[in-house]
Amino acid sequence: ILAPESGGKFRRLHCCRHCPKWFLESADLTSHLRSHTSERPFPCDRCRATFTDKRTLTVHLRTHTGERPYRCEQCPKAFTQLSILQRHRRLHTGERPFQCPTCPTTFTAKHHLEYHLRTHTGERPYACELCARKFT
């Protein structure tokens, strides 16, 4: 599959043959395919954790070392991942880029919007194993 880019060019998308997901980078597809096979070839040498790709192992290793290389310029906080710093910055800027398509509510993180959408759909995907009561 080809996806349009700026300047009239196209970029190849790498599609999973097991599910509807697609990726811009072939390495991301390779890592994703391991989620279907349970292959986790990157073990942590400090604990029993294993990972589908080296990048995730690198981030995990920071839990052992305490390394937090991504520092906020506005406050003393530091983070293990750039994406977490970027989300944190929205607390300082007030940016809320994730808009609910049903109501005017906005969010700083995509997963907060996804959780909120269940208030409109009524979806309750998590069930208690003891009483079968469902939760969002």
Question: 60 with 48: CB under 8 angstroms?
Answer: no
Percent of the chain whose predicted confidence (pLDDT) is above 90: 59
pLDDT above 60: residue 2? no
Q: Is residue 4 very low, low, confident or very high in pLDDT (cuts 50, 70, 90)?
A: low
Angle in degrees, CA 64, 56, 92, rounded to 5:
80
**Quick one: average pLDDT of 91-114?**
94
**Quick one: average pLDDT of 34-54?**
93
Element of type H or E holding 70: strand 70-71
**Quick one: average pLDDT of 2-6?**
60
Residue that the structure tokens 């599959």 belong to: 1
**Quick one: average pLDDT of 35-60?**
94
Amino acid at 74: Q
3-state secondary structure of 28: helix
Q: Check residues 89 and 132 and name the one with the higher pLDDT.
A: 89
Element of type H or E holding 11: strand 10-12
Q: What is the pLDDT of residue 134?
A: 87
Q: What is the pLDDT of residue 124?
A: 85
Which domains does the chain show, CATH number per domain? Answer: 2-37 (no CATH), 42-93 (3.30.160.60), 98-135 (3.30.160.60)
- Residues paired with 23 in a beta bridge: 14
pLDDT above 70: residue 10? no
